[in-house]
Protein backbone atom coordinates (compact mmCIF):
# COMPACT_ATOMS: atom_id res chain seq x y z
CA UNK A 1 0.00 0.00 0.00
CA UNK A 2 1.32 3.46 -0.95
CA UNK A 3 2.35 5.88 1.79
CA UNK A 4 0.73 8.71 -0.14
CA UNK A 5 -2.09 8.12 -2.60
CA UNK A 6 -3.57 11.05 -4.49
CA UNK A 7 -6.57 10.57 -6.74
CA UNK A 8 -8.28 13.08 -8.97
CA UNK A 9 -7.14 16.01 -6.80
CA UNK A 10 -8.15 19.53 -7.77
CA UNK A 11 -7.14 22.74 -6.01
CA UNK A 12 -7.86 26.42 -6.43
CA UNK A 13 -6.85 29.86 -5.22
CA UNK A 14 -10.31 31.28 -4.55
CA UNK A 15 -12.26 30.98 -7.80
CA UNK A 16 -9.14 30.28 -9.90
CA UNK A 17 -8.52 26.57 -10.47
CA UNK A 18 -4.82 25.66 -10.32
CA UNK A 19 -4.54 21.87 -10.10
CA UNK A 20 -6.66 19.48 -12.14
CA UNK A 21 -7.17 15.75 -11.76
CA UNK A 22 -3.87 15.00 -10.04
CA UNK A 23 -3.16 11.29 -9.66
CA UNK A 24 0.01 10.32 -7.86
CA UNK A 25 1.28 7.63 -5.53
CA UNK A 26 4.39 7.51 -3.41
CA UNK A 27 5.65 4.32 -1.77
CA UNK A 28 7.40 4.16 1.60
CA UNK A 29 11.13 4.94 1.16
CA UNK A 30 10.72 6.32 -2.35
CA UNK A 31 12.31 9.53 -3.62
CA UNK A 32 9.88 11.01 -6.10
CA UNK A 33 10.60 14.13 -8.11
CA UNK A 34 8.17 16.58 -9.66
CA UNK A 35 9.61 18.63 -12.50
CA UNK A 36 8.04 21.56 -14.22
CA UNK A 37 8.50 25.12 -15.36
CA UNK A 38 7.63 28.15 -13.26
CA UNK A 39 3.92 28.68 -12.65
CA UNK A 40 2.88 25.14 -13.56
CA UNK A 41 1.55 24.30 -10.09
CA UNK A 42 4.48 22.52 -8.41
CA UNK A 43 4.42 24.60 -5.24
CA UNK A 44 0.61 24.60 -5.18
CA UNK A 45 0.67 20.81 -5.29
CA UNK A 46 2.84 20.62 -2.17
CA UNK A 47 0.78 23.31 -0.42
CA UNK A 48 -2.41 21.44 -1.25
CA UNK A 49 -0.91 18.26 0.18
CA UNK A 50 -0.15 20.12 3.43
CA UNK A 51 -3.62 21.61 3.54
CA UNK A 52 -3.14 25.31 3.16
CA UNK A 53 -4.39 25.61 -0.37
CA UNK A 54 -8.08 24.79 -0.77
CA UNK A 55 -8.65 21.47 -2.49
CA UNK A 56 -11.93 21.31 -4.37
CA UNK A 57 -12.17 17.66 -5.34
CA UNK A 58 -10.46 14.30 -5.15
CA UNK A 59 -8.82 12.36 -2.41
CA UNK A 60 -5.51 12.43 -0.55
CA UNK A 61 -4.69 9.34 1.48
CA UNK A 62 -1.70 9.27 3.77
CA UNK A 63 -0.90 6.03 5.58
CA UNK A 64 -4.26 4.78 4.25
CA UNK A 65 -6.15 7.60 5.97
CA UNK A 66 -8.11 10.27 4.08
CA UNK A 67 -6.54 13.60 5.03
CA UNK A 68 -7.98 16.04 2.50
CA UNK A 69 -10.06 17.83 5.12
CA UNK A 70 -7.51 17.74 7.95
CA UNK A 71 -5.91 21.03 9.06
CA UNK A 72 -2.23 21.59 8.36
CA UNK A 73 -1.02 21.00 11.90
CA UNK A 74 -2.72 17.60 12.08
CA UNK A 75 -1.06 16.51 8.83
CA UNK A 76 2.28 17.64 10.26
CA UNK A 77 1.61 15.62 13.41
CA UNK A 78 0.95 12.55 11.29
CA UNK A 79 4.50 12.78 9.95
CA UNK A 80 4.16 14.95 6.84
CA UNK A 81 6.59 17.83 6.66
CA UNK A 82 7.05 20.59 4.11
CA UNK A 83 10.27 22.53 3.61
CA UNK A 84 8.89 25.53 1.75
CA UNK A 85 10.45 27.44 -1.09
CA UNK A 86 12.60 30.32 0.16
CA UNK A 87 13.59 28.45 3.35
CA UNK A 88 11.06 30.14 5.64
CA UNK A 89 13.06 29.83 8.82
CA UNK A 90 12.22 32.13 11.74
CA UNK A 91 14.66 35.03 11.25
CA UNK A 92 14.39 36.45 14.76
CA UNK A 93 14.94 33.13 16.53
CA UNK A 94 18.44 31.73 16.94
CA UNK A 95 19.48 28.57 15.08
CA UNK A 96 19.08 26.62 18.32
CA UNK A 97 15.60 28.06 18.91
CA UNK A 98 14.60 27.29 15.32
CA UNK A 99 15.62 23.68 15.87
CA UNK A 100 13.87 23.49 19.24
CA UNK A 101 10.63 24.81 17.77
CA UNK A 102 10.93 22.09 15.14
CA UNK A 103 10.43 19.40 17.78
CA UNK A 104 6.88 18.73 18.91
CA UNK A 105 6.91 17.85 22.61
CA UNK A 106 10.00 17.83 24.77
CA UNK A 107 11.00 14.19 24.94
CA UNK A 108 14.50 13.61 23.63
CA UNK A 109 14.64 17.02 22.02
CA UNK A 110 18.30 17.75 22.78
CA UNK A 111 19.33 14.30 21.55
CA UNK A 112 17.49 14.85 18.30
CA UNK A 113 19.08 18.26 17.82
CA UNK A 114 22.48 16.68 18.45
CA UNK A 115 21.68 14.03 15.87
CA UNK A 116 20.78 16.74 13.36
CA UNK A 117 24.00 18.58 14.08
CA UNK A 118 25.87 15.37 13.24
CA UNK A 119 24.18 15.41 9.85
CA UNK A 120 24.68 19.14 9.40
CA UNK A 121 27.93 20.05 11.23
CA UNK A 122 27.90 23.41 9.47
CA UNK A 123 25.15 24.52 11.88
CA UNK A 124 27.04 23.75 15.11
CA UNK A 125 29.11 26.96 15.30
CA UNK A 126 26.04 28.99 14.34
CA UNK A 127 23.70 27.89 17.15
CA UNK A 128 23.59 31.30 18.85
CA UNK A 129 23.19 33.24 15.62
CA UNK A 130 19.80 34.56 14.54
CA UNK A 131 18.28 32.71 11.59
CA UNK A 132 18.00 35.91 9.58
CA UNK A 133 21.77 36.45 9.80
CA UNK A 134 22.59 33.17 8.02
CA UNK A 135 23.44 32.89 4.33
CA UNK A 136 20.82 31.51 1.94
CA UNK A 137 22.49 28.11 1.88
CA UNK A 138 22.79 27.95 5.66
CA UNK A 139 19.13 28.90 5.97
CA UNK A 140 18.23 26.07 3.62
CA UNK A 141 20.21 23.61 5.71
CA UNK A 142 18.55 24.96 8.86
CA UNK A 143 15.10 24.59 7.29
CA UNK A 144 15.88 21.00 6.37
CA UNK A 145 17.33 20.20 9.80
CA UNK A 146 14.33 21.79 11.53
CA UNK A 147 11.97 19.70 9.44
CA UNK A 148 13.92 16.52 10.22
CA UNK A 149 13.92 17.24 13.96
CA UNK A 150 10.35 16.01 14.21
CA UNK A 151 11.02 12.54 12.73
CA UNK A 152 8.84 13.00 9.64
CA UNK A 153 8.02 9.99 7.54
CA UNK A 154 7.25 12.03 4.41
CA UNK A 155 9.17 15.17 3.45
CA UNK A 156 7.88 17.54 0.80
CA UNK A 157 10.78 19.62 -0.49
CA UNK A 158 10.03 22.74 -2.49
CA UNK A 159 12.96 23.83 -4.68
CA UNK A 160 15.69 23.43 -2.04
CA UNK A 161 18.43 24.50 -4.46
CA UNK A 162 16.92 27.86 -5.35
CA UNK A 163 19.51 30.59 -4.75
CA UNK A 164 21.90 28.22 -2.98
CA UNK A 165 25.63 27.95 -3.69
CA UNK A 166 26.79 24.72 -5.43
CA UNK A 167 28.83 23.42 -2.48
CA UNK A 168 25.76 23.52 -0.25
CA UNK A 169 23.59 21.92 -2.95
CA UNK A 170 26.08 19.05 -2.94
CA UNK A 171 25.94 18.85 0.86
CA UNK A 172 22.15 18.79 0.87
CA UNK A 173 22.12 16.11 -1.81
CA UNK A 174 24.52 13.90 0.18
CA UNK A 175 22.58 14.30 3.41
CA UNK A 176 19.29 13.47 1.70
CA UNK A 177 20.81 10.31 0.22
CA UNK A 178 22.18 9.32 3.62
CA UNK A 179 18.88 9.99 5.38
CA UNK A 180 16.99 8.01 2.82
CA UNK A 181 19.19 4.99 3.37
CA UNK A 182 19.53 5.28 7.16
CA UNK A 183 16.04 6.40 8.12
CA UNK A 184 13.97 5.02 5.23
CA UNK A 185 12.65 8.52 4.53
CA UNK A 186 10.14 9.15 1.80
CA UNK A 187 10.68 12.36 -0.12
CA UNK A 188 8.71 14.26 -2.72
CA UNK A 189 10.95 16.83 -4.32
CA UNK A 190 9.75 19.69 -6.48
CA UNK A 191 12.57 21.19 -8.52
CA UNK A 192 13.69 22.98 -11.64
CA UNK A 193 17.33 21.95 -11.14
CA UNK A 194 17.52 18.96 -13.43
CA UNK A 195 20.88 17.63 -12.22
CA UNK A 196 19.85 17.78 -8.57
CA UNK A 197 16.61 15.92 -9.10
CA UNK A 198 18.18 13.34 -11.41
CA UNK A 199 20.84 12.58 -8.80
CA UNK A 200 18.24 11.74 -6.17
CA UNK A 201 14.87 10.70 -7.56
CA UNK A 202 13.89 7.15 -8.34
CA UNK A 203 10.79 8.29 -10.20
CA UNK A 204 9.85 11.61 -11.76
CA UNK A 205 6.52 13.20 -12.61
CA UNK A 206 6.31 16.20 -14.86
CA UNK A 207 3.71 18.85 -14.25
CA UNK A 208 2.31 21.26 -16.77
CA UNK A 209 -0.52 23.77 -16.28
CA UNK A 210 -1.71 22.10 -13.11
CA UNK A 211 -1.78 18.60 -14.54
CA UNK A 212 0.65 15.78 -13.78
CA UNK A 213 0.99 14.66 -17.35
CA UNK A 214 3.94 12.30 -17.52
CA UNK A 215 5.64 9.77 -15.30
CA UNK A 216 9.15 9.31 -16.54
CA UNK A 217 10.24 5.67 -16.35
CA UNK A 218 13.08 4.81 -13.98
CA UNK A 219 15.32 3.52 -16.75
CA UNK A 220 15.09 6.82 -18.58
CA UNK A 221 15.79 9.03 -15.58
CA UNK A 222 19.56 8.86 -15.87
CA UNK A 223 19.36 10.10 -19.44
CA UNK A 224 19.16 13.86 -18.85
CA UNK A 225 18.63 14.55 -22.57
CA UNK A 226 15.57 12.33 -22.51
CA UNK A 227 14.22 14.00 -19.37
CA UNK A 228 14.78 17.42 -20.88
CA UNK A 229 12.82 16.29 -23.89
CA UNK A 230 9.92 15.24 -21.67
CA UNK A 231 9.94 18.70 -20.21
CA UNK A 232 10.32 20.42 -23.52
CA UNK A 233 13.60 21.99 -22.37
CA UNK A 234 15.13 21.12 -25.71
CA UNK A 235 18.58 20.32 -24.33
Partner 1 sequence: MLRAISKDWLGAGFVTVIGLAILFFVPVLFDLFEVLQMTKYVVLALFVLSLAYIWGFGGILSFGQAGFFGLGGYAFAVSSINMGQTTVPFLIAIAVAALFAAALGYFMFYGRLSDVYLGVVTLVVTLILWKLINHTAGPEYVIGTARLGGFNGIPSIPIMTLPWQPDQEMEPSHMFQYFMAILIGVYVLLHILIKSKFGRIAISIRENEVRTGLLGYDVRLYKLAIFTIGGAIGGAAGAMWATYQTFVDPNIFSLEWSALCLIWVMAGGVGTLFGPMVGVLALEYLSFQLGQTDFINNLIIMGVILIFLVLLLPKGLFPTFRDFVTKHWNRRHE
Site of interaction with partner 1 (CB under 8 A): 50, 52, 71-73, 76-77, 81-82, 84, 88, 90-94, 96-97, 100-102, 104, 106, 127-128, 146, 150
* Shortest Å distance, C-beta 213 to partner 1: 28
3-state secondary structure 131-162: HHHCCHHHHHHHHHHHHHCCCCCEEEEECCCC
Residue 200, classed as helix, strand or coil, is: helix
* Shortest Å distance, C-beta 133 to partner 1: 13
CA distance 129 to 182: 29
* Shortest Å distance, C-beta 143 to partner 1: 9
* Closer to partner 1 by Cβ: residue 35 or 50: 50
* Shortest Å distance, C-beta 148 to partner 1: 12
**Element housing 56 (H / E):** strand 54-62
* Shortest Å distance, C-beta 121 to partner 1: 16
The residue among 87, 45, 33 whose CA lies nearest residue 197 is 33
DSSP H helical ranges for 30-131: 42-50, 72-77, 95-101, 109-119
CA distance 225 to 216: 12
DSSP string computed for 84-98:
-TT----TTSBHHHH
* Closer to partner 1 by Cβ: residue 144 or 231: 144
Going by the DSSP 8-state scheme, the letter that residue 124 receives in this structure is G
* Closer to partner 1 by Cβ: residue 21 or 77: 77
In contact, 144 and 150? CB cutoff 8 Å: no
* Shortest Å distance, C-beta 21 to partner 1: 26
Amino acid sequence: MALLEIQNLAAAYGPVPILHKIDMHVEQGEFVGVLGHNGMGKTTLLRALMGFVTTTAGSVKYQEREIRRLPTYKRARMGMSLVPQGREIFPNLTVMENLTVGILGKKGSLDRIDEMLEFFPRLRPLLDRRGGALSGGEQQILALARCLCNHPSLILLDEPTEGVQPSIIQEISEVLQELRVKQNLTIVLVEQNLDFILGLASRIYTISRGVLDTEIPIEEIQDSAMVAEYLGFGN
